[in-house]
Structure 1
Amino acid sequence: MTDTSSGQAPLAFVTGATGLLGNNLVRALLEEGFRVRALVRFPEKATQQFGGLPIEVVTGDMLNVNAFASALVGVDVVFHTAAYFRDSYTGGSHLQQLHAANVLGTRALLKCTYAAGVRRLVHASSIAVLRGQRGQVVDETMLRDERDADDYFRSKILSDREVLGFLETHPDFWAAMVLPGWMHGPGDMGPTAAGQTILDVGHGKFPGVPPGSVCVVDARDVAEAMIQIYRGGRRGERYLAAGQHFTMAEFIPLVGAALGIEVPARRLPFAMLYTVAAVSEVKARLTGQPVLFSWAMARALSSENERSHFSKAKSQAELGLIFRPVEETLRDEIAWFRTHGWLPNDGCN
């Protein structure tokens, strides 16, 4: 694939490049012939994540977009995957940080992208901006009311509005959005909450099967969706890349099978989750240690239970998106954790 204006391969700028989605996107872009300029907060983490991959690393933070704005010059497309997420479910209030990174950061990125002469951006939104009735198949038109949103969900709703508002005032600018589900896959250096779930199961920290349901997707499939959106998506449109619906009672045994271990069969009621969350938050405040399971996480599991059936129709029809089996995702995710010493190689605790 080449940029017809210069004869060169297109240059992609990836924010959040060392994250689960970002690092898989960087690899997918390279495989598909793009040149890549990767925004990272910590260069040493980029070295660990990418090794000798032929990319240009830019050090910067979404809290100060102006500081790296010059690196946007000459770029053909910005893939915006950076977001404040993981810490928002670790107890306490994170409203200020969420708004600064996810909303104001996106606003600044749009302005600096445009000022640098770039006219295309693919934004990583979230299934958090959608909501349907329990058991209903949710599509891209079913937007969540802010009154039904926690702080993280609201920040994603508002960041989407930044993108759509920018399109209204800049008719020569093109942007579209991907809405990922609960992403799993290799390269989860964070780790994300998804990766931490795998690690907790692998280390025997699950006392039972939690309630709730999820929509599991491979980060590599989301990365491919973003590339296909750039190539053939429609301006201002949302595209779901949410994957497959599971109850936790269905998903945790799949994790156990992929790990080669037995997992607890006892099902935990929602009331117990709130009790565990309350105790965990109090303990964290007293000890200064991170919250292992927050009140916000318990509330999200409860409110979103059986609201994780998401439509594949639009992404399949317009992007040709195909989701790999979750067993393949778990196998590769666990293999990555084992290779990097985060899980034992023999499946034993």
Structure 2
Amino acid sequence: MADIHTLPLGDRERALVTGATGLLGSNIVRLLLDRGQEVVAFVRDLDRARTLLPADEPRLRLVQGDITAPASYRGVLHEVDEVFHTAAYFREYFQDPSLTGPLEAVNVRATGDLLRASAEAGVPVFVHTSSINTLALRGAGHPADETTPAPDRFLRLSESECYPSSKVRAERVVDDLVAAGNTGATRSVVVLPGWMWGPGDAGPTSAGRLFLDVARGSVRAVPRLSNYVVDARDVARACVAAARVGRHSRYVVAGSKVPLPELTGAVAARTGGRQPRPVPAGLAMAAAGLMELQAKLSGTEPTATRTAVGVLREGDRRHISSKLAERDLGVGPRPVEDTIGAMASWYREHGMLAGVEKAGRATTG
């Protein structure tokens, strides 16, 4: 795998990272700090940010605000050379699917507001994080890439119905602003990652939830499905490279297509948890429905939902090419074992595996 630290990316004085305590945002923050840059981390909770980011680093400045409130970030845009927009809302897999308001407010409208404000402030480059789920399905002989349109079912929506549709609508907002000449001299780039795994997943995201549940031995089975898995550190490197040396306005960084049993098996091997047994997708869907019912009765969040299994089913049919990003940005996928090992180390360092690994060993014993 090529490493962009070896590429002549040039220097920037200061960057703004939204969603800076999230999986991707925190990895961008650390990468930029490692490169000797100053970083403005835009966060909702300062106390949480101080525990998840190197708050004692003099080149890091924490700014508290709300991505849906432009007044909370406008003041810092005049101080930065680039904006990395990673803040997003994606919890709909674990809640009432009718609650789509935050998807539209955070993922769509806030993206347009931030890009407009960045252009007004004269920020040279704006990098927006999207998703490979905005790409229509393509066969193995003609894999989806940067030129692939969105799925037909998302093209005529007037509001977001799910996370992928919100990302389609957000990309459209970016494209419309550029086409209308409302972005001035600000160059916009969209990066489309696959299913992100990696260190720094404090949320946790769906990947982190699955990792921790496998570690504690509470996942008995997983569907025989595959999905594109990418290390968040590689996506962070791609975002920085796209801002510095990218020649295109859209880059797919899908990672590698990995069978879910192989992925969870790697987690179990690293943490001592029970290795889930592979089962047909239909059985996994039925089990997810039962988990949703149990979670509703107990007031907790389910390990899996029918919506999430549906996303995995669609991912199993995907064929995607990341060749443009590999060629232009010098970033290719690292081994899954590297990603899982880094996650295990990060969770241990942050005290999130102590009780979990004990429970996992008890379950498998």
Q: Deviation per CA, 1:2-21: give whole Å up to 9, x if none.
A: xxxxxx95210000000010
Question: Would the aligned equivalents of 1:11 and 1:74 in 2 still touch at CA under 8 Å?
Answer: yes
Question: Would the aligned equivalents of 1:186 and 1:336 in 2 still touch at CA under 8 Å?
Answer: yes
**Paired residue for 2:72?**
67
**Paired residue for 1:19?**
22
Of residues 268, 287, 303, the one that matches 1:256 is 268
Tell me the distance in 1 between the aligned counterparts of 2:86 and 2:225: 26
Question: Would the aligned equivalents of 2:285 and 2:306 in 1 still touch at CA under 8 Å?
Answer: yes
Q: Deviation per CA, 1:68-103: give whole Å up to 9, x if none.
A: 211212211100011001x11103123211011000
Of residues 23, 38, 42, the one that matches 1:39 is 42
Q: Tell me the amino acid that sits aligned with residue 194 of structure 1.
A: A
Note the 1:302-313 alignment, pairs <5 A: 302-307=313-318, 309-313=319-323
Note the 1:125-274 alignment, pairs <5 A: 125-133=130-138, 135=140, 137-147=143-153, 151-170=162-181, 171-235=184-248, 237-265=249-277, 267-274=278-285
Question: Would the aligned equivalents of 1:185 and 1:330 in 2 still touch at CA under 8 Å?
Answer: yes
Residue identity (%): 38
- Structure 2 residue 337 is the aligned partner of structure 1 residue 327: yes
Tell me the distance in 1 between the aligned counterparts of 2:263 and 2:30: 27
Tell me the distance in 1 between the aligned counterparts of 2:299 and 2:262: 35
Give 5+ residue unaligned stretches, structure 2: 1-10, 156-160
Q: CA deviation at 1:148?
A: 6.0
Question: Would the aligned equivalents of 2:83 and 2:126 in 1 still touch at CA under 8 Å?
Answer: yes
Q: Tell me the amino acid that sits aligned with residue 339 of structure 2.
A: T
- Structure 2 residue 92 is the aligned partner of structure 1 residue 88: yes
Question: Would the aligned equivalents of 2:216 and 2:273 in 1 still touch at CA under 8 Å?
Answer: no
- Residues 261 and 95 (structure 1), Cα distance of their counterparts in 2 relative to 1, 3 Å cut: closer
Q: CA deviation at 1:125?
A: 1.0
Tell me the distance in 2 between the aligned counterparts of 1:167 and 1:261: 49
Task: Provide the alpha-carbon RMSD of the alignment.
Answer: 2.1
Tell me the distance in 1 between the aligned counterparts of 2:36 and 2:169: 33
Give 5+ residue unaligned stretches, structure 1: 1-7
Tell me the distance in 2 between the aligned counterparts of 1:50 and 1:146: 40
Q: CA deviation at 1:159?
A: 0.6
Tell me the distance in 1 between the aligned counterparts of 2:290 and 2:268: 27
Tell me the distance in 2 between the aligned counterparts of 1:40 and 1:125: 19
Question: Would the aligned equivalents of 1:167 and 1:173 in 2 still touch at CA under 8 Å?
Answer: no
Q: Tell me the amino acid that sits aligned with residue 95 of structure 1.
A: T
Q: Deviation per CA, 1:223-244: give whole Å up to 9, x if none.
A: 1101100111135x21111111
Q: Deviation per CA, 1:247-272: give whole Å up to 9, x if none.
A: 2133222222333455133x222222
Question: Would the aligned equivalents of 1:134 and 1:305 in 2 still touch at CA under 8 Å?
Answer: no
**Paired residue for 1:338?**
348
Tell me the distance in 2 between the aligned counterparts of 1:334 and 1:53: 24
Moved more, 322-331 or 13-22: 322-331
**Paired residue for 2:3?**
none
Q: Tell me the amino acid that sits aligned with residue 205 of structure 2.
A: T
- Residues 18 and 97 (structure 1), Cα distance of their counterparts in 2 relative to 1, 3 Å cut: same
Q: Tell me the amino acid that sits aligned with residue 197 of structure 2.
A: H
Question: Would the aligned equivalents of 1:12 and 1:78 in 2 still touch at CA under 8 Å?
Answer: yes
Tell me the distance in 1 between the aligned counterparts of 2:137 and 2:205: 25
1:138 aligns to what SS in structure 2? coil
